């Protein structure tokens, strides 16, 4: 009997010992600070997913995250062997690690994740918080204040709360609260520091709210905000937890592309020092009508708070704060959002009346994964169908794989909204559409094969989602696809001068001259066509050009006038629009896309030519484009250049080339041009009205002149292939004038001779001459103004 009793007692003792050694597990613990709460695009993100406190060891589970399709291939990281945990002042050095080899660089997997387990000595009994320090080296990962969520439930400041629908509703911080997408100052408060219960009175402007916070029940508290009382759950995770129920909506706000706005209030919390010199928070998006990048910046206060009101045409994809936060999301017009981006704890939340999709995209962000023509494909010596077939197969495979991945994610998280599934798939499709459009530039003639064109039509063109502002990459796809489609139709974007010669005459004398020229063209055409071979046709053409050189020269003078240039360019534009309209009709484009595309062509034409259109041309365009926004933009741009044309300016800066008439060599021409300015530095700018970077540089001329005013510079501008009217308009538009400015628009042969002599192959090209008129072998560029100023300072004496 005694033996039996003793056996039982020993068993009980053993069981008690086992109970004492029971593992304590912290699932998804919270943190107070981390150096590794990166964006996941260009910086690694580390999440502590679990902690096991055992009698024999402590295990910390960490997942490294890098978004698929981001900079994963270029990002390597490692964990040092001297990683340790810290409780108070005591260190507990790493024993071993699973899933990673210590002191060796590695990467996340193809899914953008790497799961790791770090084994340490056991921590003291009753430990409630500790730090994870990846050694003492510079730039080491640090995760501080790791604690179980039960400990966080006791805190009110700081704390974040969501309602029963799953939305972030309110948050309390040291100096203010956030509620209803606004910052609220504390007026008074009476709080129990142990239980977190109490009353707060807070104000926003003239508005005042009383908040009553009740007792904690496992992370939930009754909170009354004004007259509204509900039970709220504390948010302890970096991202908002999955919503409790599924949202089955499929569509997005569609205003019909009428100008509206989005308001974004936000806080960049606990910003690292390296980012504090950035004083604005930037929102970037693509203007659908022009396909130009637009940016809106909001000023940050000392705490990193901002408010921005952004004009939008419709529901729009945004690239947000690309120098610091790297957020891609969708904003819908007419709505107000509050965005929290916390660098210290890594929290990323949206607040608002309808911000579920934005929170889902924060937690499960858009991938950036496309296949370009040469990605892993053998293309050497291939062309046409042979070139595109393997590429089409790879693209099709990627799209299907990404769709499967998105569906699997939604199955794994069954309450993810239907709009999330739709938007992720649509974004994936349009990203690849843009890459596919660019693939044509790898083919002979820079055109799709027939199969590639059909694939683009079936896979991308017919599946563009509305509103068309949903995905930034749609605009790029339209540019490539529709240009290729027009080429495939052999659309003739031309204007026959012979058929319209009477329009160019300003008087009877010019009409007679042009009539002689038209008759000469008809006769010469018949003579050339009668020649038996191509070589003979070319010889006869040159012979007739020489024979009629004087007549051709006189007609060229008429055609080069501003009036004739407008007639020719207007006729070319109208014919171009008609050809594009036929192409769009053949593709069954909807009316909005048709107007959008024709409007883009008209805007691009005006911007390129830098002159207004004739009233008759504007009337023709109005008959072709019914979209009022497109038409309003065209009229605004046309009126802008009409006003410039009517603006007075100092024509003394426009220099005649008469003194150069008998000079044909580039070196001699250049010497003659620079000669009058001996004793000064001469900065030569070779540009053209057709050159976008040239005009962008000229737009900063006033700033350039002011910065270099102390260096006695003569500015010499030579225009390449620039019509007279456009040349003058650009000079007036950007005020490229002054007593030390000279502009030349030389005959084509002389301009080409100078460019050959200077070995010009890109525009703008800049050259610097010293005070003796000698060309200096230096790289100069006024777009890098401070560098040029330093160089001139060194040469000043």
Mean pLDDT on 159-169: 97
Query: ∠ at Cα 243 (242, 246), nearest 5°?
Result: 115
Q: pLDDT tens digit string along 60-110?
A: 999 998 865 544 455 789 999 999 999 999 999 999 999 999 999 998 887
pLDDT band at 377 (very low <50, low <70, confident <90, very high): low
Question: 131 near 145, Cβ under 8 Å?
Answer: yes
Which residues, 6+ apart, have CB-to-CB distance to 148 below 8 Å?
Answer: 26, 29, 30, 51, 128
Which residues, 6+ apart, have CB-to-CB distance to 244 below 8 Å?
Answer: 164, 165, 166, 415
Using N-to-C axis directions, what is the helix angle for 474-488 and 591-609, rounded to 10°?
90
Mean pLDDT on 484-502: 81
Torsion sign, CA atoms 545, 550, 551, 553:
positive
Can you list the alpha helix ranges (DSSP code H) found in 587-614?
A: 591-609
* Pairing mode, strands 681-687 and 713-719: parallel
Helix (H) or strand (E) holding 198: strand 198-204
Q: Which of 163, 139, 310, 178 has the alpha carbon at shortest distance from 229?
A: 163
Q: pLDDT tens digit string along 643-697?
A: 999 998 888 999 999 999 999 999 999 999 999 999 999 999 999 999 999 999 9
Question: 657 near 750, Cβ under 8 Å?
Answer: yes
pLDDT band at 523 (very low <50, low <70, confident <90, very high): very high
Question: 436 near 456, Cβ under 8 Å?
Answer: yes
pLDDT at 4: 56
* Pairing mode, strands 280-287 and 130-133: unpaired
pLDDT higher than 60, residue 1: no
Least confident of 38-52, 229-243, 298-312, 577-591: 38-52
pLDDT higher than 70, residue 704: yes
Question: 784 near 700, Cβ under 8 Å?
Answer: no
Which phi and psi angles does 590 have, rounded to 5°? -75, 160
- The tokens for 125 are 């009994």
Rg of the chain on CA atoms, in Å: 35
Q: Which of 359, 473, 369, 471 has the alpha carbon at shortest distance from 423?
A: 471
* Pairing mode, strands 260-269 and 33-34: unpaired
Q: Which is more confident, 36 or 60?
A: 60
pLDDT at 161: 98
Place of tokens 């790289």: 779
Q: pLDDT tens digit string along 601-625?
A: 999 999 999 999 999 999 999 999 9
Question: 427 near 370, Cβ under 8 Å?
Answer: no
Phi-psi region of 139 (alpha: psi -120 to 50; beta: other; left: phi over 0): left
Which residues, 6+ apart, have CB-to-CB distance to 246 below 8 Å?
Answer: 414, 415, 416, 417, 418
Burial annotation 292-311 (CB, 10 A radius, 16+ → b, else e): eeeebebebeeebbbbbebe
Can you list the alpha helix ranges (DSSP code H) found in 699-771?
A: 701-707, 724-733, 748-757
pLDDT at 559: 84
pLDDT band at 148 (very low <50, low <70, confident <90, very high): very high
pLDDT at 41: 57
- Proportion of the chain in helix, strand, coil states, percent, rounded to 5: 40, 25, 35
pLDDT higher than 80, residue 202: yes
pLDDT band at 797 (very low <50, low <70, confident <90, very high): low
Range list of β-strands (E), 235-386: 260-269, 280-287, 292-299, 305-312, 316-320, 327-331, 336-342, 348-352
Which residues, 6+ apart, have CB-to-CB distance to 660 below 8 Å?
Answer: 669, 672, 673, 746, 750
Question: 161 near 170, Cβ under 8 Å?
Answer: yes
Q: Which of 277, 436, 432 has the alpha carbon at shortest distance from 370?
A: 432
Diameter of the chain by CA atoms? 139
Q: Which of 715, 720, 717 has the alpha carbon at shortest distance from 752?
A: 720
* pTM, to two decimals: 0.85
Residues 523 and 540: their CA atoms lie apart, in Å, by 12
pLDDT at 162: 98
Phi-psi region of 771 (alpha: psi -120 to 50; beta: other; left: phi over 0): alpha
pLDDT at 137: 86
pLDDT at 382: 56
pLDDT at 378: 57
Residues 239 and 351: their CA atoms lie apart, in Å, by 12
Mean pLDDT on 732-737: 96
Q: What share of the chain has pLDDT > 70, as a percent?
A: 94
pLDDT higher than 50, residue 146: yes
> What is the DSSP secondary structure assignment for residue 297, as one 8-state letter?
E
Mean pLDDT on 202-209: 97
Q: pLDDT tens digit string along 757-786?
A: 999 999 999 999 999 999 999 999 999 999
Q: Which of 109, 193, 210 has the alpha carbon at shortest distance from 155?
A: 193
Q: pLDDT tens digit string along 315-349?
A: 999 999 999 999 999 999 999 999 999 999 999 99
pLDDT higher than 80, residue 718: yes
Q: Which is more confident, 796 or 776?
A: 776
pLDDT higher than 90, residue 12: no
Using N-to-C axis directions, what is the helix angle for 562-586 and 549-559, rounded to 10°?
80
Q: pLDDT tens digit string along 232-288?
A: 999 999 999 999 999 999 999 999 998 899 999 999 999 988 899 999 999 999 999
Number of Cα atoms under 13 Å in the Cβ half of residue 129 = 14
Q: Which of 280, 269, 270, 426 has the alpha carbon at shortest distance from 361?
A: 426
Residues 387 and 492: their CA atoms lie apart, in Å, by 27
Secondary structure of residue 4 in the 3-state scheme: helix
pLDDT higher than 50, residue 746: yes
pLDDT at 387: 85
pLDDT at 38: 60
pLDDT higher than 70, residue 466: yes
Which residues, 6+ apart, have CB-to-CB distance to 184 below 8 Å?
Answer: 176, 177, 178, 202, 203, 204, 209
Least confident of 180-184, 248-252, 505-509: 505-509
């Amino acid at each position: 009997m005694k033996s039996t009793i003793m056996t039982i007692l020993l068993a009980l003792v053993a069981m008690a010992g086992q109970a004492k050694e029971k593992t304590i597990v912290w699932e998804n613990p919270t943190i107070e600070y981390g150096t590794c709460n990166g964006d996941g695009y260009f910086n690694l993100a580390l999440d502590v997913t679990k902690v096991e406190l055992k009698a024999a060891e402590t295990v910390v589970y960490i997942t490294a995250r890098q978004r698929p399709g981001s900079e994963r291939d270029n990002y390597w990281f490692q964990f040092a062997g001297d990683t340790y945990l810290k409780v108070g002042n005591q260190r507990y050095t790493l024993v071993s690690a699973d899933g990673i080899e210590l002191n060796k660089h590695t990467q996340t997997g193809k899914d953008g994740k790497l799961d790791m387990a770090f084994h340490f000595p056991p921590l003291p009994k009753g430990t409630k918080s500790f730090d994870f320090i990846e050694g003492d080296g510079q730039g080491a990962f640090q995760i501080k204040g790791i604690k179980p969520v039960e400990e966080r439930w006791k805190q009110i400041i700081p704390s974040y709360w969501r309602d029963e629908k799953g939305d972030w509703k309110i948050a309390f911080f040291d100096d203010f609260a956030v509620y209803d997408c606004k910052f609220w100052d504390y007026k008074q408060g009476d709080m129990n520091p142990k239980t977190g219960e109490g009353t707060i009175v807070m104000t926003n402007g003239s508005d005042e709210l009383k908040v009553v916070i009740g007792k904690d029940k496992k992370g939930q508290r009754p909170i009354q905000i004004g007259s509204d009382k509900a039970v709220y759950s504390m948010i302890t995770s970096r991202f908002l937890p999955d919503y409790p129920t599924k949202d089955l909506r499929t569509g997005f706000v569609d205003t019909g592309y009428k100008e509206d706005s989005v308001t974004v209030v936000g806080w960049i919390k606990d910003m690292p020092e390296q980012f504090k010199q950035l004083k604005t928070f930037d929102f970037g998006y693509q203007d659908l009508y022009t396909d130009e990048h637009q940016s809106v910046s909001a000023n940050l206060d000392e705490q990193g708070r901002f408010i921005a009101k952004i004009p939008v045409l419709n529901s729009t994809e945004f690239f947000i704060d690309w120098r610091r936060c790297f957020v891609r999301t969708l904003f819908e017009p007419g709505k107000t959002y509050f965005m929290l981006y916390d660098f210290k704890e890594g929290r990323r939340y949206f607040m608002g009346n309808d911000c579920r999709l934005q929170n889902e995209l924060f937690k499960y962000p858009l991938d950036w994964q496309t296949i370009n023509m040469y990605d892993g494909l053998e293309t050497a010596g291939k062309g046409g169908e042979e070139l595109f077939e393997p590429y089409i197969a790879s693209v099709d495979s990627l799209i299907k794989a990404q769709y499967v991945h998105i569906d699997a994610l939604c199955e794994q998280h069954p309450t993810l909204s239907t709009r999330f599934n739709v938007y992720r798939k649509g974004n994936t499709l349009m990203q690849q559409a843009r890459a596919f459009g660019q693939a044509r530039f790898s083919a002979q003639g820079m055109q799709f094969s027939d199969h590639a064109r059909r694939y683009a039509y079936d896979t991308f063109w017919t599946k563009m989602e509305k509103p068309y502002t949903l995905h930034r990459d749609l605009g790029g796809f339209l540019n490539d696809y529709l240009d290729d489609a027009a080429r495939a139709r052999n659309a003739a974007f031309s204007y026959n001068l012979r058929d319209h010669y009477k329009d160019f005459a300003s008087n009877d004398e010019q009409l007679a001259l042009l009539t002689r020229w038209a008759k000469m063209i008809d006769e010469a055409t018949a003579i050339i066509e009668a020649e038996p071979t191509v070589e003979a046709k070319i010889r006869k053409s040159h012979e007739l050009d020489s024979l009629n050189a004087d007549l051709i020269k006189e007609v060229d003078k008429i055609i080069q006038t501003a009036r004739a240039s407008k007639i020719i360019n207007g006729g070319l534009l109208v014919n171009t629009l008609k050809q594009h309209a036929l192409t769009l009709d053949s593709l069954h484009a909807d009316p909005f896309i048709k107007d959008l595309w024709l409007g883009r062509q008209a805007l691009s034409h005006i911007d390129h030519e830098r002159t207004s259109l004739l009233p008759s041309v504007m009337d023709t365009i109005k008959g072709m484009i019914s979209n009022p926004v497109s038409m309003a933009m065209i009229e605004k741009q046309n009126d802008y250049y009409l006003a410039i044309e009517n603006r007075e300016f100092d024509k003394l800066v426009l220099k005649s080339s008469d003194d150069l008439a008998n000079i044909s060599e580039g070196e001699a021409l250049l010497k003659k041009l620079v000669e009058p300015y001996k004793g000064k530095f001469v900065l030569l700018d070779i540009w053209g009205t057709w050159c976008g970077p040239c005009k962008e540089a000229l737009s900063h001329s006033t700033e350039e002149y002011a910065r270099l005013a102390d260096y006695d510079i003569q500015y010499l501008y030579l225009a390449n292939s620039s019509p007279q009217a456009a040349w003058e308009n650009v000079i007036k538009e950007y005020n490229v004038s002054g007593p030390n400015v000279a502009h030349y628009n030389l005959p084509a042969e002389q301009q080409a001779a100078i460019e050959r002599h200077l070995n010009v192959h890109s525009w703008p090209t800049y050259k610097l001459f010293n005070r003796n008129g000698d060309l200096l072998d230096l790289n100069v560029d006024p777009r890098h103004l401070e560098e040029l100023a330093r160089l001139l300072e060194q040469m000043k004496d």
